[in-house]
Amino acid sequence: MIAPDAPRSRRFGFRSGGLSMEGETIVPERARVLAVLCHGIPSGRPPDPDDRGYPALARDLAARGLAAAWMSFRGAKGAPGDFSIRAWADDLESALDAMSLDPRLASLARVPVGSSAGGAVAIAVGARRADVEAVAALACPAAFDWEASGGDPRRWLLELRNIGIVRDPAFPPDFDSWCGEFADAAPETRVGAISPRPLLLVHGDADDVVPYPHAERLFVAAGEPKELVRIPGGRHQLRRDPRAVDALADWLANLPL
């Protein structure tokens, strides 16, 4: 239950690729930073009753005086459309545009905070938008590959259909272009453009989805200022690891704005 004096979330709407999208924000008094939370690709496993999701992460950040926004990207959690990594980047750009027009949010320093594939989206968008003050990426891949699908991208597309984030049987209209988006969005080729704005990388060294060496590759490719936080024994869903949340919150609170 939210305490009576705690800030409450508010919904906001935006358009992306002709689709009506929706997100939420929570803004404490005197907040200076807005963490724009970007989720990754759902696992497809049955829901975990103990997983409180991104709203819980937003409330954790708000309890520390940090504003937060979150949304479902195209195809995820009931959002319209079908997944592509470029479309997710378009969704984040459209959400940032909408936030810039909201009087409650326009004065806040907007910082994309992405998890896993959402980290790749945060880096890609942060690299090309001057109004992004900093970027944080948790358990982010340095590049995308098809190894988890036996080297077959069509098998991975089938897995995405089974997860439910690709629904249209005719999507993608051009399979080769859809695959090519992942090479174009490889974070290690984009991350250098975030400098001279701050970058935070947080990664667990027991991550069995995106192994820890991906973080080291990103760190080498990034410019200054940059920070890499290694979480001993940390798994993939770092938003559920208090050590990762502490590292993120401390970094956000101390950004040189």
- pLDDT per residue as tens digits for the range 214-245: 999 999 999 999 999 999 999 999 999 999 99
Concatenating the DSSP letter of every residue in the chain gives ---TTS---EEEEEEETTEEEEEEEE--TT--EEEEEE------SPPPTT--HHHHHHHHHHTTT-EEEEEPPTTSTT-SS---HHHHHHHHHHHHHHHHT-TTTTTSEEEEEEETHHHHHHHHHHHH-TTB--EEEES--SS--SGGGTT-HHHHHHHHHHHTS---TT--SSHHHHHHHHHHT-HHHHGGGGTTS-EEEEEETT-SSS-THHHHHHHHH--SSEEEEEETT--S-GGG-HHHHHHHHHHHHT---
- Tell me the per-residue pLDDT of 100-120, one tens digit each, with 9 for 90 and over: 999 999 999 999 999 999 999
Give residue 53's pLDDT. 87
CA atoms of 244 and 247, how far apart (whole Å): 5
Structure tokens at 175: 């399979």
Please list the residues that pair with 138 across neighbouring strands: 115, 202
- Examine the pLDDT at 207 and tell me if it is beyond 70: yes
pTM of the model as a whole:
0.94
CA atoms of 157 and 64, how far apart (whole Å): 39
Answer whether 222's CB lies under 8 Å from 142's CB.
Answer: no
Answer whether 210's CB lies under 8 Å from 116's CB.
Answer: yes
- Examine the pLDDT at 3 and tell me if it is beyond 60: no
Give residue 213's pLDDT. 97
Interhelix angle 153-163/175-184, nearest 10 degrees: 90
- Residue 102 CB neighbour total at 10 angstroms: 16
Give residue 150's pLDDT. 62
Mean pLDDT of the chain: 93
pLDDT mean over 175-186:
94
**pLDDT category of residue 48 using cuts at 50, 70 and 90:** confident
Q: Which domains does the chain carry? A: 10-253 (3.40.50.1820)
CA atoms of 12 and 59, how far apart (whole Å): 17
